Structure 1
Amino acid sequence: MSEIAPILLCSDLDRTLIPNGRADESPDARARLARFCAHPAVRLVLVSGRDLQRVLDAVDEWSLPEPDYIIGDVGTTIYAPRSRSGSGDGDWVHWRDWTDEIAPSWNGLTHDDISYLFADITAIRSQEPEKQGAFKASYYVDRTANRDVLDAELHGRLWHNGIDARLVWSLDDDADVVQLDVLPTSASTLHAMEFLISHLAFDERRALFAGDSANDLLALGSHINGVLVANAEPSVRERARQMVEAGALEDTLYLARGGLFGMNGNYAAGVLEGMVHFLPETRDLMRLAQELPGDGS
């Protein structure tokens, strides 16, 4: 087949590439993804709230393809292999340019300053040290706390100190705990992807983001092509539809439903399905890369 132009695949980890949700995973879906990502035209970016080491641990544990870049810590860090900056070893290096991009939002302050500002608020308690970052302050939230009152108090203290921050609330269903991340307003998955696309001189039309949860909606509802895997909750699918309709961006969102190569559209299968939707020529690339005979579709 003819040469494939560069492709930038950005994907969430948990319940998107990693099949750790309630839905079933199609057999061989992750192996298909790995074979596809092995093509020299494909650049894989793993996107996660995890820190670098926990992302790398997940790659090993779940046999995921080796990423070209990692957007970690809820969009507050970007990592690239040291080899891309001229060194011969395989270590990962933190992109300082990205830190310089987001740091102004916090007016010269960092995680320790945020922790000090909130130290007397008993409705929140700091998460484990490995879940913190220079521009990421993470907390567990008392389930009985009035969220509106708490949100107003936190925002008030941040604004009073000239800190432009956004509060990301989430629910860990498995642990049944409410979590809160305090982040620079400029730090998000969407902004980090835009930063990568610009710095790598990628054609935005050949970039794709895949996700599954409400935390992914900002990117899924944006101008960048996005795929919501089939195992996403119905409420997330409906909210994603509403967002792209409000922005007249319906053509940039694909809701995976299954069918590609007989797969069900969950997890990695949905990522591949979305890729074929936006870049139809990748179907043939996936056929050439796969090693199993007799696949349908």
Structure 2
Amino acid sequence: MKILATDLDRTLLPNGKWEGDGGAIELFNALTEKHDVLVVYVTGRNLKLTEDAIREYGVRHPHVLIGDVGTTIRKYEQGGWRFDEGWVTHVKRVSPRWDAARIKEAVFDVDGIKEQGSEHLNQFKQSYYVEHDRNDEILKRIDTLVKGRFDEVIVYSFDSVDNKGLLDFLPNSATKQTALEYVAEEFGAEKGQVVFCGDSGNDIFPLTAGFCGVLVKNADEQLVKNVKAVMDKNPNLKAYFARGDCKGLNGYYTSGVIEGAYHYGIFQ
């Protein structure tokens, strides 16, 4: 079993400020089909936004969609999506203190955050926009109100294209990392058989969880520093930093995903 998992925005999708390679998406589609790879998208996008991306950029449908920053899992079968109810049961069992409504109440008066629209929220995801230039102050305040009370993780990332700080409260059992571990176990794959590709702050967990990590060439500088810091403490951690020297590709976005897949032998 070979699993290639990848974030979407500015990882597989060329929607950042860097110039992507023409034809890279078509090559990704062809290579994953040729080499019989199980494709998993691991994204902050909800289902509608994921389908929008598939139509807009021409990327293939994945076999598995880990959406909403790891809080939902769907399988693509016979031309349609099947929601994984087992994942919901698992999260509720492992994170019994999780309560999105109580988290919302706890941070209601925090200055500098704004709740995201309902389409970006679900039973396991409470999300906000953050004034990025004040993020240290805001996150310290939030820690005092929330941290450790709700079986939660607090994930902060920065969207450099839209210049927005993004804050997600998630159950500690429903992150990009834990959802990918759940999928890998379901398909009988060990972590060393799973390649995960990312570019930004909320990819730090799966990139440092024991999978074969890939950081595309346009990865956020802070993410690169954080991953390297973890590697210094754990020499067994596998993380590959795309350079742009594979098959004539420049290493940005889709090309970095392809380069990483070749590096780990997903593509021969």
Both proteins in one fold, TM over 0.5: yes
Give the superposed CA RMSD. Answer: 2.3
Which residue, 236, 258, 264 being the options, matches 1:272? 258
In the alignment, is the contact (CA less than 8 A) between 1:222 and 1:244 conserved in 2? no
SS state at 1:197 partner: helix
Q: CA deviation at 1:262?
A: 0.9
Pairwise mapping of residues 64-83 of structure 1 onto structure 2 (< 5 A)?
64-81=59-76, 83=77
In the alignment, is the contact (CA less than 8 A) between 2:16 and 2:161 conserved in 1? no
Q: CA deviation at 1:203?
A: 4.0
Q: Which amino acid aligns with 2:220?
A: E
SS state at 2:29 partner: helix
Which residue, 32, 48, 51 being the options, matches 2:46? 51
Change (3 A) 1:277 1:166: same
State the alpha-carbon separation in 1 of the partners of residues 98 and 226 from structure 2.
Answer: 34
Q: Does 1:112 align with 2:101?
A: yes
SS state at 1:107 partner: coil
Q: Does 1:139 align with 2:128?
A: yes
State the alpha-carbon separation in 2 of the partners of residues 159 and 64 from structure 1.
Answer: 38
Change (3 A) 1:144 1:230: closer
Change (3 A) 1:28 1:226: same
Q: Does 1:124 align with 2:113?
A: yes
1:232-263: CA deviations, max 9, x gaps?
A: 2344323222212211224x111111122111
Change (3 A) 1:204 1:144: closer
Q: CA deviation at 1:51?
A: 0.8
State the alpha-carbon separation in 2 of the partners of residues 203 and 182 from structure 1.
Answer: 28
Q: CA deviation at 1:23?
A: 1.5
Partner of 1:221: 208
When normalised by structure 1's length, the TM-score is 0.82
Q: Does 1:23 align with 2:15?
A: no
In the alignment, is the contact (CA less than 8 A) between 1:222 and 1:249 conserved in 2? no
State the alpha-carbon separation in 1 of the partners of residues 110 and 175 from structure 2.
Answer: 26
Q: Any unmatched runs of 5+ in structure 1?
A: 1-5, 84-88, 284-297
SS state at 2:226 partner: helix
Q: CA deviation at 1:189?
A: 1.3
Pairwise mapping of residues 1-297 of structure 1 onto structure 2 (< 5 A)?
6-39=1-34, 41-81=36-76, 83=77, 90-104=79-93, 107=96, 109-142=98-131, 147-148=136-137, 150-158=138-146, 162-250=149-237, 252-279=238-265, 282-283=267-268
State the alpha-carbon separation in 1 of the partners of residues 179 and 68 from structure 2.
Answer: 11
Q: CA deviation at 1:102?
A: 2.0
Q: CA deviation at 1:144?
A: 6.8
Change (3 A) 1:40 1:181: same
Change (3 A) 1:163 1:40: same
Q: CA deviation at 1:146?
A: 6.8
Percentage of matched positions with identical amino acids: 31
Q: CA deviation at 1:267?
A: 1.1
State the alpha-carbon separation in 2 of the partners of residues 207 and 144 from structure 1.
Answer: 36
SS state at 2:30 partner: helix
Change (3 A) 1:117 1:214: closer
Q: CA deviation at 1:33?
A: 0.2
1:168-227: CA deviations, max 9, x gaps?
A: 122222332322111112222111111111111124332100111222122212311011
SS state at 1:261 partner: coil
Q: Which amino acid aligns with 1:185?
A: N
Change (3 A) 1:229 1:109: closer
Q: CA deviation at 1:147?
A: 3.7
Aligned length: 268
Pick which of 127-136 and 179-188 moved more. Answer: 179-188
The one of the two structures with greater contact order (alpha-carbon pairs below 8 A, sep at least 6) is 2
In the alignment, is the contact (CA less than 8 A) between 1:16 and 1:229 conserved in 2? yes
Pick which of 62-71 and 39-48 moved more. Answer: 39-48
Q: Which amino acid aligns with 2:112?
A: A
When normalised by structure 2's length, the TM-score is 0.90
